[in-house]
């Protein structure tokens, strides 16, 4: 058996979006599973829409997700001579012909067909032009496109789709499609096939929106005497209104980069994305990379489109709730050392990073992350809601301020009292601090909760958090004492 060769051919007309990432993921998974290769090919023939920025965005997105490739990136524009050679070959062998019909003429016919409610297809006006007629028109300088000559016969052409089964179409229903523009530039349909033949692509996994292309491309493979690769059309990802998700329509929510900035763990997103249209056949949902590679198969790709369930304007779920829950799962269960590596850039961004977190303070850093991770959903939360652990400059949220501090006027004196006692503690630990706090509450004849919750708010700025005495250990004696002493400041304003 020859090596499996897959490819991911994005066109650089925008950032990598989650649909594209999912396609890349499937190809990558299958390449890994079969010990094959993944080729990255940038389809930049649409010069007007292709940008350097977009190419970079795609490469960055793939790297962030951990999708590596074995060859490339190749750029389609570098192989224009191949494309031209192929169109010449088709022309020379009589499998394609020059068409001099103008756009305007075709538009008229297209509209007429729409009106008559019949299927539009090129009517073959130029198909039977004689060599002399063609030469004459060319001599007159008339522009022409090259059309593929679809075999003029009854019957059908088909291919065996790995997920959809046998797909067929009647020759009669396929029009003579254009393969070269009047400018002489070959089109996607041709370029794609030529490139895939040259790159010896054995399997093509792509969205089912390509299904009609595939039939025509099979024709092209045959005409070019090349073996037809294995095709697998994966279902599309739709929005809640069942429209194809797109960057233009949905904005940043579909861009991979958005998830990176939001603080997603790359693998959590990948894991979620893969399950949108594929399942292992059992109840397993969380996989390591190796497990997923092992479990993946083309045959288990679904036929049904799936819905990316994100509701615009829902503050609690800024994206698909299940994607968020996957992130929470990984945030909670991954080795804390791995989390630390991913948290670093977020702390740096907030100017909270200390090099000692990788040196002397590493142990403290890891245990602090471990202490707080259960309540967070995104990596960015550590530098945001978790700011008080890393800096003395943090804001106290309004809600806990009112509920846990301002409501109890006495805290203005009680907390500084507590600070004094904490400071006097020879052994500042979980047990002694708790005992100290409870003793104070008893002496003052107030509920311990008043002291504890007030303390949480003053020390962390948050309404909720880990066990109070764990917090006290994480923040440290000195900083706790200082924050408690400054409680009066909160009553001002």
Partner RNA sequence: GUCCCCAUCGUCUAGUCAGGUCCAGGACACUGGGUUUUCAUCCCAGCAACGCCGGUUCGAAUCCGACUGGGGACGCCA
Site for RNA in 129-148 (CB under 7 A): 143, 145
Minimum distance from residue 344 beta carbon to RNA (Å): 23
Q: Which of residues 152-191 bind RNA (CB under 7 A)?
A: 164-165, 167-170, 173, 178, 181-183, 185, 187-189
- Regarding 336 and contact with RNA (CB under 7 A), the answer is no
Q: Single out the residue of 4, 23, 34, 208 in contact with RNA (rule: CB under 7 A).
A: 208
Q: Which of residues 417-436 bind RNA (CB under 7 A)?
A: 434
Q: Single out the residue of 55, 60, 75, 102 in contact with RNA (rule: CB under 7 A).
A: 102
Q: Which of residues 234-263 bind RNA (CB under 7 A)?
A: 235-236, 238, 240-244
Q: Single out the residue of 55, 59, 91, 101 in contact with RNA (rule: CB under 7 A).
A: 101
Give bridge partners of residue 307 from the DSSP assignment.
238
Question: Which one of the spans 87-95, 263-271, 290-298, 466-474 is the region binding RNA (CB under 7 A)?
Answer: 466-474
Q: Which of residues 11-50 bind RNA (CB under 7 A)?
A: 11, 43, 45-46, 49
- Regarding 125 and contact with RNA (CB under 7 A), the answer is no
- Regarding 103 and contact with RNA (CB under 7 A), the answer is yes
Total residues in contact with RNA, by rule CB under 7 A: 89
- Regarding 283 and contact with RNA (CB under 7 A), the answer is yes
- Regarding 115 and contact with RNA (CB under 7 A), the answer is no
Sketch the per residue contact string, 362 through 401, with RNA: x for CB under 7 A, - otherwise.
Answer: ------------xx--------------------------
Minimum distance from residue 359 beta carbon to RNA (Å): 29
Q: Single out the residue of 52, 304, 426, 492 in contact with RNA (rule: CB under 7 A).
A: 304
């Amino acid at each position: 058996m020859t090596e499996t060769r897959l490819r991911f051919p994005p066109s650089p007309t925008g950032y990598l979006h989650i649909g594209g990432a999912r396609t890349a993921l499937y190809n990558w998974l299958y390449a890994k599973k079969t010990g094959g290769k993944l080729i990255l090919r940038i389809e930049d023939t649409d010069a007007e829409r292709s940008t350097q920025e977009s190419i970079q965005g795609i490469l960055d997105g793939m790297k962030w997700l951990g999708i590596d490739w074995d060859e490339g990136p190749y750029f389609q524009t570098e192989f224009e001579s191949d494309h031209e050679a192929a169109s010449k070959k088709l022309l020379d062998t009589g499998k394609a012909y020059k068409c001099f019909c103008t756009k305007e003429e075709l538009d008229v016919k297209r509209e007429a067909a729409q009106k008559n409610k019949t299927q539009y297809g090129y009517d073959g006006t130029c198909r039977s032009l004689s060599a002399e007629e063609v030469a004459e028109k060319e001599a007159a300088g008339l522009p022409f496109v090259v059309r593929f000559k679809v075999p003029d016969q009854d019957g059908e052409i088909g291919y065996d789709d790995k997920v959809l089964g046998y797909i067929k179409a009647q020759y009669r229903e396929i029009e003579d499609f254009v393969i070269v523009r009047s400018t002489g530039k070959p089109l996607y349909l041709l370029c794609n096939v030529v490139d895939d033949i040259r790159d010896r692509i054995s399997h093509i996994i792509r969205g089912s929106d390509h299904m009609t292309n595939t039939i025509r491309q099979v024709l092209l493979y045959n005409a070019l005497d090349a073996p037809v690769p294995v095709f697998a059309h994966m279902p599309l990802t739709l929005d809640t209104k069942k429209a194809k998700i797109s960057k233009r329509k949905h904005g940043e929510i579909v861009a991979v980069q958005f998830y990176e900035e939001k603080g997603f763990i790359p693998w959590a997103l990948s894991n979620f994305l893969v399950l949108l249209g594929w399942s292992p056949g059992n109840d397993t949902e969380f996989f390591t990379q190796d497990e997923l590679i092992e479990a993946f198969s083309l045959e288990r790709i679904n036929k049904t489109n799936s819905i990316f369930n994100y509701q615009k304007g829902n503050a609690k779920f800024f994206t698909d709730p299940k994607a968020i829950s996957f992130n929470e799962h990984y945030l909670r269960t991954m080795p804390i050392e791995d989390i630390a590596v991913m948290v670093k850039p977020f702390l740096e961004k907030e100017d909270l990073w200390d090099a000692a977190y990788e040196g002397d303070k590493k142990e403290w850093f890891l245990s602090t992350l471990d202490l707080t991770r259960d309540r967070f959903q995104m990596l960015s939360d550590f530098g945001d809601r978790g700011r008080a652990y890393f800096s003395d400059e943090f804001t106290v949220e309004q809600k806990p301020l009112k509920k846990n501090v301002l409501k109890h006027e006495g805290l203005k004196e009680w907390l500084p009292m507590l600070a004094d006692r904490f400071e006097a503690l020879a052994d500042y630990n979980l047990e002694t601090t708790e005992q100290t706090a409870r003793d104070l509450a008893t002496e003052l004849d107030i509920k311990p909760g008043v002291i504890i919750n007030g303390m949480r708010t003053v020390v962390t700025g948050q309404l909720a958090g880990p066990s109070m005495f764990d917090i006290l250990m994480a923040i440290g004696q000195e900083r706790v004492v200082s924050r408690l002493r400054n409680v009066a400041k909160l009553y001002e304003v």
